[in-house]
Amino acid sequence: MADFNSEFWSWFISAIVVGGFIWMLYLLQINNKAQLPEDGEAKPTGHVWDEDLQELNTPLPRWWLYMFYITIVFGAVYLALYPGLGSYKGVLGWSSVGEYEAEVAKADAEFGPLYDKFLNEDLAALATSKDAMRTGERLYVNYCAVCHGSDARGAKGFPNLRDNDWLYGGDPETIKTTIMYGRTGAMPAWEGALGGAEGVAQVAEYVQQLAGRDIDADVAEQGKAKFDVFCVACHTPEGTGIQAMGAPNLTDNIWLYGGSAKAIKQTIAMGREGRMPAHAEFLGEAKVHILAAYIYSLSNENE
C-alpha cells in the first residue's frame, strides 16, 4: 500500500479501519442504555410505522450484544495477525504472494518429476512420444490457447502454429527458445517515408505481387522501386524475409495481421508491434521442453 504513492495512504486506510471499530463500539454503547421500567413493561418510543406498528424501548438482547462484541474482538485479533491496516503486514507475515509461492512450490515438488523425466530427451524424438504429447497438450490448453486458439490455428496478430510458417524458425530448439525467452517484433510505420497514401498503395500492390496475386503491374512496378529502397533490409530483395530478425516471408501469402489489400496497406502505413511473452521463469525449462516438442509436433503432424 505504501508503494502506491506515499505513506499517507497506509495511514489513511488504517484510520478508516480503526475508526470503524470505534464507531461500532460507540453504537453499541448508546443503544445499550435502554432499560425496562420497574414494572417490566416496555414503553413506546414514539416511532410508528404502518399505522399501528410501534417501536418499544426494549433493551438489546444480551445474546445478540455479546455476539456483536465477539465479532469486534475477532476482527481486532484478525487485523493483528494478518494484513488489513495499510502497509502493516501482520504478526504472521502472511501475504497472497507468499501463499501463491507456497502452493507453487508444493505443486512443483509433487508434479515436477513428471516433467523432469522428459527434460533430457531430444525434442524431435519427444514429439513422437504419446505420453509426452498428452502432457504437452494439457500445457498448451492451459498456457497457450488463449492467444493461439484451442486448435492452435491462431488469430489476427497471433501466429498459426500448424502451418509450418515460422517468423523465427520452426526447428525444435528455436521453438523452445521462443517459448523460453519470448520474442518482440516491430514493423515500423512507413507512410511518411513512402510519401503518403499513394506510396503505401504502390508498395502494397508490389507486396501482393510477391504473394502471387493478380494486381496492377504498373502500380506494382512503382512499388518495387520503393520496396528496394525501404524494405529489402528486412524482407530481402526476393521478399522471403529473414528469420533471424523475425521479418516475415512475403511470398507465401500467409499474413499475420490479415492479407486483404486494406490490411496490408494498414500494416505498411501504421506499422505493427507484436510480443510473445517469455515463459522460462513462469513455467520452468522442463515444462517448456515438453511444450516445445508438442508445438513442433503440430506443424509436422502430416509428415
Alpha helices in the chain (DSSP H): 7-31, 62-81, 96-116, 123-126, 130-143, 145-148, 172-181, 197-210, 217-230, 232-235, 261-270, 280-283, 285-299
Copy the grid coordinates of residue 272: 505493427
The residues, any chain, with a CB within 8 Å of residue 207's CB and separated by 6 or more, are: 223, 227, 239, 250, 264, 268
- Between CA 95 and CA 98 the distance in angstroms is 5
Q: Assign residue 70 a region: left if phi > 0, alpha if psi is -120 to 50, beta otherwise? A: alpha
186-276 is a CATH 3.40.309.10 domain: no
pLDDT over threshold 70, residue 143: yes
pLDDT over threshold 80, residue 6: no
- Between CA 150 and CA 96 the distance in angstroms is 30
Q: Where are the domains of the chain?
A: 7-81, 108-182+277-299, 186-276
Among 32-46, 98-112, 159-173, where is mean pLDDT lowest? 32-46
- Between CA 65 and CA 59 the distance in angstroms is 10
Q: What percent of the chain has pLDDT over 70?
A: 95
Q: What is the mean pLDDT of the chain?
A: 91
Q: State the Cα angle at 199 between 196 and 200, rounded to 5°.
A: 85
DSSP string, 103-159: HHHHHHHHHHHHHHTTTTS-HHHHTT-HHHHHHHHHHHHHHTHHHH-TTS--BTTB-
The stretch 141-148 carries a mean pLDDT of 96
Contact 76, 70 (CB under 8 A): no
The residues, any chain, with a CB within 8 Å of residue 286's CB and separated by 6 or more, are: 112, 115, 116, 118, 119
pLDDT at residue 65, as a whole number: 87
Fold of 108-182+277-299: Cytochrome Bc1 Complex; Chain D, domain 2 (1.10.760)
Fold match, 108-182+277-299 / 186-276: yes
Which position has the grid cell 533430457? 120
pLDDT over threshold 50, residue 110: yes
Specify the 3-state DSSP secondary structure of 182.
coil
Q: What percent of the chain has pLDDT over 90?
A: 70
pLDDT at residue 5, as a whole number: 62
From the list 132, 270, 124, 97, the residue with the least C-alpha distance to 197 is 270
Please, which pLDDT band fits residue 21 given cuts at 50, 70 and 90?
Answer: very high
Which position has the grid cell 507456497? 102
From the list 187, 224, 198, the residue with the least C-alpha distance to 209 is 224
pTM, to two decimals: 0.71
